[in-house]
A and B are shown apart, each in its own frame.
Chain A
Amino acid sequence: MTRTNDIILRTTTTLIAFILLGFSAYLFFAGHNAPGGGFIGGLMTSAAIVLMYMAYGIKSMEKILPINFRHVIPVGLLIAALTGVGGLLFDQPFLTQTFAYFQLPILGKTELATALLFDLGVYLAVVGVTMTIILTIANDRGEEEGV
Chain B
Amino acid sequence: MIWAVLLPFIMAMFIPFVDKWRERIHTGFFVTIIPILIFIYFARFLGTGFEPLTRSYSWIPSLDINMVFHLDGLSLLFVLLISGIGALVAFYSIYYLDKSEQLGHFYVYFLLFMGSMLGVVLSDNVFVLYSFWEFTSLSSFLLIGFWNFKKESRYGALKSMLITVFGGLSLLGALVFMTVLTDTTSIQEMISQKQLILNSEYFPLILALLLLGAFTKSAQFPFHIWLPDAMEAPTPVSAYLHSATMVKAGIYLVARYSPMLSSSDWFFIIVSSVGIVTLCWGSYMAVRQVDLKGILAFSTISQLGMIMAMLGFGTKVAVFAAVFHILNHATFKGSLFMVAGIVDHETGTRDIRKLGGLMTYLPITATLAIFGTFSMAGVPLPFLNGFYSKELFFDASLHLEDIANAGFIGVLKTALPYLAVFGSIFTFVYSMYFFFGTFRGKANLSELPKKPHEAPVGMLVSPIILVLGVILIGLFPGMVNEPFIAHAASAVKGLAVSKEVYFWHGFLYPPLIMSITVLVFGTVLYLSRKQWAPVYRAIPGVLSMNKVYDGLVDRLETYSSRVTKAYMNGSIGRYVRLVLAAILIVTFAFMALTGGFTVDLSNVAPLSLPEIFVAITMVIAAVSTILTNNRITAILILGVVGYGLSMLFVLFRAPDLALTQLIVETVTVALFLLVFYHLPKLRKKEEAASTRFLNLVISIGFGAMMTMVAISAHSSKFFESISSYFLENSYKLGGGDNVVNVILVDFRGLDTLFEIVVLGIAAMAIYGLIKLPGKKEDQ
A residues sitting closer than 8 Å to B (CB atoms) are 27, 31-40, 43-44, 47, 70, 73-74, 76-77, 80-81, 84, 94-95, 97, 99, 111, 113, 115, 118-119, 121-122, 125-126, 128-130, 132-134, 136-138, 140-141
Contact A99 B745 (CB under 8 A): no
B734–A95 contact, CB under 8 A? Answer: no
With known contacts A95-B750, A128-B760, A34–B737 Cβ distance under 8 A: yes
Q: State the Cβ distance, B363 to closest chain A Cβ, in Å.
A: 89
Q: How far is the CB of B655 from chain A (nearest CB, A)?
A: 4
Q: How far is the CA of A111 from the CA of B771 in the complex (A)?
A: 44
Question: A137 contacts B745, CB within 8 Å?
Answer: no
Binding site for A on B (CB under 8 A): 655-656, 659-660, 663-664, 667, 670-671, 674-675, 677-678, 734-738, 740-742, 744-746, 749-750, 752-753, 756-757, 759-760, 762-764, 766-767, 770-771
Query: Do A97 and B760 have beta carbons less than 8 Å apart?
Result: no
Report B-chain residues with C-beta under 8 Å of the C-beta of A73: 759-760, 763-764
- What are 26 contact pairs spanning A and B, CB under 8 A? A31-B736, A32-B734, A32-B736, A32-B738, A33-B738, A36-B738, A39-B660, A43-B667, A44-B663, A73-B764, A76-B756, A76-B760, A95-B750, A113-B734, A115-B745, A122-B745, A128-B763, A129-B756, A130-B667, A132-B767, A134-B671, A136-B766, A136-B771, A137-B671, A137-B766, A141-B674
CB-CB under 8 A from A138, the residues of chain B are 674
Give the CA-CA distance A132 to B759 in the complex, in Å: 11
Task: Give which listed residue, A33, A84, A133, contacts B762 with CB less than 8 A.
Answer: A133
Beta-carbon contact of A118 and B764 below 8 Å: no
In Å, the complex CA distance between A36 and B745 comes to 12
| Interface majority SS (helix, strand, loop, mixed), chain A | helix
A125 to B735, CA, bound (A): 24
- Total contacts A-B at CB 8 Å: 136
The 9 lowest CB-CB distance pairs between A and B, nearest first, are A99-B735, A32-B736, A35-B655, A33-B737, A125-B756, A129-B763, A132-B763, A129-B759, A115-B745
Pick the contact of A136: B659, B736, B770 (CB < 8 A).
Answer: B770
Which residues from A are CB-within-8-Å of B749?
84, 95, 97, 115, 118
List residues of chain A with CB within 8 A of the CB of B752.
Answer: 80, 118, 122
CA A129 to CA B766, docked complex, whole Å: 10
From residue B231, how far is it (CB to closest CB) to chain A in Å? 67
Chain B: minimal CB distance from A134 (Å): 7
Contact A37 B738 (CB under 8 A): yes
Report yes or no: A136 in contact with B767, Cβ–Cβ below 8 A: yes
Known A70-B767, A97-B749, A137-B770; contact A129-B760, beta-carbon cutoff 8 A: yes
Please name all residues of chain B whose beta carbon is closer than 8 Å to the beta carbon of A80 when the two chains form the complex: 752-753, 756
Q: Closest A-chain residue to B757, C-beta based?
A: A77
For the complex, give the distance between the alpha carbons of A24 and B735 in Å.
21
Check if B735 sits within 8 Å of A40, measured CB to CB: no
Q: Is the CB of A137 within 8 A of B675?
A: yes
Docked-complex contact A77 and B738, CB < 8 angstroms: no
Among candidates B740, B744, B760, B771, residue contacting A77 with C-beta atoms closer than 8 Å: B760
Q: Kindly list chain B residues whose C-beta atoms are within 8 Å of the C-beta of A126.
A: 756, 759
Q: Which residues of B contact A125 (CB under 8 A)?
A: 756, 759-760
In whole angstroms, what is the CA distance A130 to B749 when docked?
A: 21
